[in-house]
Structures are given as structure tokens and as C-alpha cells.
Amino acid sequence: MHYIITEKETTAKRIATILSADKAKKRKIGGIDAYEFDGTVVAGLSGHVFRLDYPPPYNNWSKINPYTLIDARIVAVALKKTIVNALKQIANDAESVTIATDYDREGELIGVEALRIIKKINPALLVDRMRYSAITEQAIKESLAARSDVDYNLAASAEARGIIDLIWGAALTRFISLSANRLGEGFFSVGRVQSPTLALVVAREKEIEKFVPRNYWELHATLKTEKGEIFEVIHETQKFWEREEVEGIKSRIEAAEEGCVREVETRLRNEKPPAPFDTTGFIRAASSIGYSPKRAMNIAEHLYLQGLISYHRTDNTTYPDTLDLKVLVKLFLENKEFGDHARLLVQKKRLKPTAGKKRTTDHPPIHPVSAVSRDKMGKAEWSIYELVVRRFLATLSDAAQWEDTDVKIELGGEIFEAKGRELKEEGFLAIYPYQKKEELILPKLKEGENVKIEQIEIVEKETKPPNRISQAGLIKKMEDLGLGTKSTRHEIIGKLYERAYVQDNPVKPTETAFALIESLEKYATMITKPEMTKTLEQEMDEIREGKRKKEDVVADSRAMLKAVFEEMTKNREEIAKSLKEAIKGGTIVGTCPECGSELFVAISHRGKRFVGCRNYPTCTFSLPLPRSGRVLVTTDTCDTHPFLFKLKIMKKGMKRPWDFGCPYCNFLHWEAKSGDT
């Protein structure tokens, strides 16, 4: 029997349907679903077969020195016994096995995990690999016909990352949490990618906090042409830092009733279509239409599994020569949404796509592979699918053409400027509405023409602090610094939210994040810098390329971590003091209604949490809180008690936080309920 093993049951079903012309019969192998036809069985796993962990004796945080975790033995723990049992059955029945998991690091490792079980029982088994970037009939049949060897180096690079992340995360998290006496749900989570990413957020917040705004003034004028057309200009000195200077200029201009056009320069400018989508580009574009990185990637995965778009985890921004772009465009000729533009594209003798700076050979850029209508999908799915289709069509379209106009006008001896832009040819903008195409039309002015001064106005403004980083912007920074991978960056950001280190979007660090990063930056600098993580990522790439062994790279990482521990151990008392001092006030949840001091999440000597007043013991105002779960402070205030922020509670295993709301309202509700009983 020939077995094809996929990463998920949904993929198994779709591949079996394609290869059997919808004649495959469903059957059970152990506890998992499989699909059989013509001597072939397609079976789906549930992602990873194993997880990496330490043996049980190491689970007691209080009794195990975190340093010993660096060199401790790591074991593979089966995630689902039903999967392991099914693979053992396959081993006894199979004559050959084809791995058809997603073709990336994690997918290759998942396939190798399955093979380890199978080949232990049946070592002589014939094994090969299907590689595909889309779950379509053509892609699946071609990948089956062109099977190749399993890439054990690629799997080893993924396994190295898993081992390294476990060692760094477990050892550092325990050291810091034990030092600060923060165990249970309130422990300090530290990691080789997570911590430098959080440091970026904290650094930006510090820039914002230390920013001192400065007033400046602009000088605007409203003018009228001889034909009665009204337009606005601004003084060539964009910012005046002294009020007296701009007022003096304004006075001189007010004495003049007219001005004169001194210079008109018009030129055509081509705006190039965007590059094809890699994962980071896709996430940023999805963010601009309201989808968080995690949500966008989840939807993209669903579309991929349905055979609607290509594989969504890719670093490529250049279409391969083997991709028939015209065939893909023809999919949309009869589509109500995209048909008009598709028909324009197929009329071209040759399609010339844009290309980004990155070219890889594993997967092409994200693109549509099948057509579907809006009414066949949910709103969110359609939004993401439409984004992918429009981006693909845009990359094959002509540049947009603009006419830019720069005008200089003399008013009372001072030069004012105006810049106009008019869209002459829509090009790709006709199909890609996500890119701004705002026009600013100026009157047709001629040099030497007089214009009448209608109004002259001083506009006072203030310099603004740097913006907080959006989730999508943070992913781009992570990519630039070599933090994480295309598959893991959005998950790392998700962990920062889960640990209550950050909130909102754009991302704002909490007091806990400040306390942690400031302490690490003082006493364990390497953990907060991207260089160490980038070095390890490069070494894992060398494993994939066959230049380094997994064991050697893991050994390098252990040596790095020992150097970190040496620094932290010398400063353990300072770290503990720094963290305890920084977090002793807890998270701010509002203002005390009785004395006006800050209210914060406090912990009693018995370990109970409550909302307490900073002015204690002079002020004893307090409110109870749930015993378990992480407290997340929102930016919404209570309508009844506007001095308090609403809270959310994130408990282990919950997909979404519990909307606890206003702690005062909850207390009054509990009090009334208790009184009734």
C-alpha cells in the first residue's frame, strides 16, 4: 500500500479528492481519518507529532537551578497517542510513503517526525516527498509526478530552532521569575526572540515619553486667479520657530493686494505597481484594511487549504519563470469583480510583472490559484482573498501616471509654494484601491500671471512625538533585524499580548514590560539585543544548506546562554531588586475616588489580588479581583465610574480574554447579590 501523509486532515481530504477524481473512500486508521483509492491511502496528521520538553523531574521550578536547564536532556513527548498509533499501523502496512506536509521548515520537521516512528518499525520502507505551493489539481498532480527526497537538513534546522527556543525560554524565564519571586500565572516570560522584540516596543515608548513638543508656525495664503479660481499656498519656509518672525512677514504681505506667479514646473511621474506579496508584505497590507497579523494569517491558511491562494508563508517577492501568469489571469475573465481588468491584461502580448528584492526557490509570492465569487465566501475571507487577487493583478499592470505641478508665487517679496498632482493614467490603481490616489488639482497658472490675495493666515502647530509601532510595523522591524521567521513573527507578537506585556494596536507596552526590559537591559544586555538572535538564525540557515550540523549550532547557543547566565548570576540581587521595585505598584487601573491617588493591581501578603490605592494606609479604598488569570487593562473607562478602566482577564486555555469590565461595578453587583442571599 502507498501512503501519502499530509500535515492536516483537511489537506488529506482535498489531495485524495484530486488524485482519485472524487472517488476516494473514507476510512479510519487508528483514531484518524484517511482516504483510500486505487492502492493509495492519504492520511492527515494534526501538525507536529511531538513537542520538545524536559523530563518530569525538571518541572519543579523552585527545586531546579535554571542554569542546569542549559545542558539538561531534552525529550520528545508525543502530542496525541492516536496519531502515534496510526503511524505505527501505517508502518506495518506500507510499501512506500510519500511525505506531503507543507514545504517549509516546520512542515519538513513534521514529516520527519512521522517518518521516525514509521521507519523504526519498517526501516526498509521507500520514502519520498511531494512539494507544492498550492492545493490545486495541477499543482498536486505535478508534485506527485515529480517526487523528490525528504530534506533532512531543512527538518534539522527547524528542530534546532525548537531546541534552542526551549532552552533559552525555559532557563531565562525561570531565572528571572524566581529572582523576582513571580511564579504561577504572573511569571515573567523571557525568550531569545520575544525579549528583543519587546525591547523595540519599550524603546519606542520611551522616545514618546521623553519627547518635548515644540511650537512652530506656518504661513498660509488663499489666492484667486483672474478667472476666479481659488487655491492655497504655503510659505517656502515650512516651519517658523519664532512667532515674531512670521508675524512680521504676514504684516508685509497684507500691505500687498496681489501676487505674481514666478515659476510653474510641470512633469510626468510614473508610480510603479507594488511588488508581489511575501508574508510580511501581505501582513502589512492586511493590517491596513483592519486585520491583525494573526487573523490575516489564519484566514490565509484557510484560503490556502481550500485551494484558492498559494502557500502563504514565503519570503519570495519575485514570480518564478515557471509560473504561467497569463493562465492565472484568465481565471478571472468572467469574474464580476475582476473581469474588466483581467480582460485588459490578457490583451497584452507579454505580461511583465513587478519584482521585489527577494528571490527564493521554496515558494512563489502569495497569489490566487483559483477563482471564486464573493457570494461563496464570508466577509472576512472575501476581504483577504480580494486583497490577494487585486495585488496579483496589480503586479501585472501598467504604472500609474501622474502629472505633478510645482508653483512658486511671490507675495510681498516672499515666496509661497503650492504642489499639485493629477492622475492621468490609472494603470494598476484601477484594480488596487488600497494605495492612495488623492489628487490635488491646481488652476492652470502661467508665469507672470497676477493673483489676488484673498486671505493670509498664521497657523500654529506643535511637533508630534514618534508614533507607536503597529503590529504590522513591528513584524517589518523584526524582519529587518532578523528576529524570528515569516512563520513565527505574528505568533511572537501574540505571545506579548497573552503575557500582558503589550496592549492595544498600535502596540503599547505595559508597566510589567517596562520593568522587565529595563532590568534586562541593565544586567543581561544580550537578551534584549537582536544580534544574538540574528546570529543563531543565520546558523540555522547553514544547517538547512548542509554547512553546519544541528548539534553544533545547539552547542553554540548553549555557550551563548551560559555567557548570559554568568552576567545575570553576578547581578542576581540587583535584578531581583530592580524587578520587585518596578512592579511593586502593580498595573495602574484608575484614580482613587476618595483621595485622587493612583489605583493599581495589588497583592496581599496572603496572595490575594485586589485593586488598592497608592495612598495606603492613609487611604484604604480597595476593590476585589478574581483570584486567577492575568489582568489586562483596556483603554475604555466605565460609564458609571469614569475614574476606572475596564478590565479583561486572560486565563490559561482561553482563546479570548474574559470581559471583566469595571471592578467597581462588579463589586457592587456581588455586594447586592450577597445581600439578597
Q: Is the peptide bond before 368 cis (omega within 30 degrees of 0)?
A: no
Write the DSSP assignment of 433-452 as a string of letters.
Answer: TTS----BPPP---TT-EEE
∠ CA 662-637-581, rounded to 5°: 80
Give yes or no: 311 in active site: yes
- Helix pair angle (511-523, 572-583), 10° resolution: 160
DSSP E strand stretches across 236-382: 258-271
Q: Report the C-alpha gap between 291 and 19 in whole angstroms.
A: 35
Selected catalytic residue, list 3, 54, 304, 311: 311
Instruction: Give the closest residue to 409 by CA, choosing from 228, 216, 227, 231.
Output: 231
- Helix pair angle (81-93, 105-121), 10° resolution: 60
**193 exposure class (CB count in 10 Å sphere: 0-12, 13-18, 19+):** buried
- Helix pair angle (489-498, 194-210), 10° resolution: 70
Q: Report the C-alpha gap between 521 and 527 in whole angstroms.
A: 8
Q: If phi over 0 gives left and psi between -120 and 50 gives alpha, with beta otherwise, what is residue 65? A: beta
Cβ neighbours around 570 below 10 Å, total:
11
Cα 379 from chain centroid (whole Å): 21
Q: Report the C-alpha gap between 150 and 109 in whole angstroms.
A: 10
Q: Report the C-alpha gap between 88 and 268 in whole angstroms.
A: 68
232 within 8 A of 222, measured Cβ to Cβ: yes
Q: What is the largest CA-CA distance in the chain?
A: 98
Q: DSSP secondary-structure letter at 631?
A: E
**406 exposure class (CB count in 10 Å sphere: 0-12, 13-18, 19+):** middle
Strand partners, 508: 503
Q: Report the C-alpha gap between 411 and 413 in whole angstroms.
A: 5
Query: What value does the CA radius of gyration of the chain take, rounded to a whole number of Å?
Result: 31
Active site amino acids: 311
